[in-house]
Amino acid sequence: MELAALLISFVFLLLLGTSVAAAMILSAFLSLLLNKMPLTVMGELMLSGINSYTLLAVPFFIFAAVIMNRGGLTDRLLDVAAAFVGHFRGGTAQIDVLASVFFAGMSGSATADAASQGRILIPHMIKEGYDPGFAAGVNSSSATIGAIIPPSITMVIYGGVTNISVGALFLGGVVPGLLIGLALMVMVAILATRRGYPRRAYMPWKERWKPIVVALPALLAPVIILGGIFSGVTTPTEAGVVACLYGLILGFFVYGELKLKDIGPLLVETVEATAVPVYIIAASSVFGFALTMSGFGMLVQEWLMGFITGPTSFLLVVVTIFMLVGLAVEGVAAMLIFVPLFMPMVQTFHVDELQFAIIVIITLLLGTISPPVGLQLFIAADIAKISAFKVDIWPFIWIMLLVVIAIVFLPGLVTWLPGVIM
């Protein structure tokens, strides 16, 4: 009865339009009442859920992303991308994808990528004759690379709640992130050729060095941030602080686009952006406890064990479930709710934890660009001034899903680089 009340109330609250975090808290509150447990447990669980040194990296990386957007780093990265892929068919869309690969090495935020590049490139694409739905689809899908190529805020959260090495997660995301970038560029080329989208003027090689030299300090940011982590000089949290300081130095003294008066608005934007994931983490702690008390985890495991025969079929089921969950539940919340339920089965089927983590993260990121709740999708659609349901997103989702399937059958795509470096 308690499990039914928990799940029914959670779904009912979501259908009413309640935020995922509020729905988790209220449904867990009802479950605890039915179990006659002291409600003080809720406060204790929510505080313990966010009381993590690793999770301190989240606000720092968010602040770094905000600084880099406002400090001129994004513009310089776009110039470098334009120099190398602007002359391809669908050049401006190709710039969007390649710049996302560059920006991912600094911010770790898919949302920051979608908002910063989208405001610049989506209007450009529409002006050049691209369909608004295509422009929004390219931008929202390429933004997911920001949470796959390190540093990644999503990976920091995953590592913080599962005790998996954040450094290993970062390394595990490098090859899949680059593969997704390549896959998206291939899809852009196919669609742009079919639809006759324009290309930019060819830039001679001798002229390409200028944007690289100008952007070199920005391009060095990932080297400094990730080099500190993998060399053991800094923890991921300390690397977040380094990213903030480096971004401020570039914004104030190198590119000169930041002023002292900008610090206040930057901090406000950071606090607002940080509040959402932290609120979800706290809420998922109490909701996860309620699920455990109601026996939901055991029921799911018994049901899955009935037809899963090995590690490959297990991972394919994981991809299917997280794809469906991502359509209805915000990515971080879905990760925090369901990953603990699957971890015992990861060990049972001898699945590599890094492989499982990257598969889950990428699959849930597909939910952030899928209707009806995809955040990046709505950001891009709003910039393009169209309905989220009119965004041409599915070709990009399918090509990204192919990369996920490749990781299922080829775990070395995830485990090779961590094995070499760590």
Q: What is the pLDDT of residue 37?
A: 79
Q: Is residue 411 part of a domain?
A: yes
Torsion of CA 31, 36, 40, 46, to 10 degrees: -20
Q: Is residue 329 part of a domain?
A: yes
Burial of 63 (0-12, 13-18, 19+ CB in 10 A): buried
Report yes or no: 403 and 183 within 8 Å, Cβ to Cβ: yes
Split at pLDDT 50, 70, 90, the class of 359 is: very high
Which of 158, 114, 363 lies closest to 280 in space, CA to CA?
A: 158
Q: Can you state the angle between helices 221-230 and 236-249, rounded to 10 degrees?
A: 160
Mean pLDDT along residues 333-360: 89
25-36 pLDDT tens trace: 898 888 888 877
Q: Is residue 14 part of a domain?
A: no
Mean pLDDT along residues 256-269: 90
Mean pLDDT of the chain: 86
Q: Is residue 353 part of a domain?
A: yes
Beta-carbon contacts of 411 under 8 Å, excluding residues fewer than 6 positions away, are 352, 355
Report yes or no: 50 and 274 within 8 Å, Cβ to Cβ: no
Quick check: 104 pLDDT over 90? no
Q: Is residue 74 part of a domain?
A: yes
**Percent of all residues in the chain with a pLDDT value above 90, rounded to a whole number:** 27
Q: Is residue 7 part of a domain?
A: no
Mean pLDDT along residues 200-205: 82
**Percent of all residues in the chain with a pLDDT value above 70, rounded to a whole number:** 99
Mean pLDDT along residues 153-177: 89
Quick check: 378 pLDDT over 90? no
Give the up-direction half-sphere exposure of residue 243: CA atoms within 13 A in the CB hemisphere: 38
Q: What is the pLDDT of residue 404?
A: 96
Mean pLDDT along residues 317-336: 83
C-alpha span between 165 and 49 (Å, rounded):
18
Q: Is residue 13 part of a domain?
A: no
Quick check: 1 pLDDT over 70? no
* pTM for this model (two decimals): 0.87
- More confident call, 297 vs 248: 248
Split at pLDDT 50, 70, 90, the class of 240 is: confident
Structure tokens given for 81: 């991308």
Report yes or no: 160 and 131 within 8 Å, Cβ to Cβ: no
Split at pLDDT 50, 70, 90, the class of 14 is: confident
152-161 pLDDT tens trace: 888 988 988 7
Burial of 414 (0-12, 13-18, 19+ CB in 10 A): buried
Structure tokens given for 113: 């990528």
Structural domain boundaries, residue 67: 19-421
Domains identified in the chain, total number: 1
Mean pLDDT along residues 183-207: 89
Mean pLDDT along residues 283-306: 80
Task: Please tell me what DSSP assigns to residue 330.
Answer: -
46-79 pLDDT tens trace: 888 788 777 788 888 888 888 887 887 878 888 8
- More confident call, 107 vs 18: 18
Q: What is the pLDDT of residue 409?
A: 95
Q: Is residue 9 part of a domain?
A: no
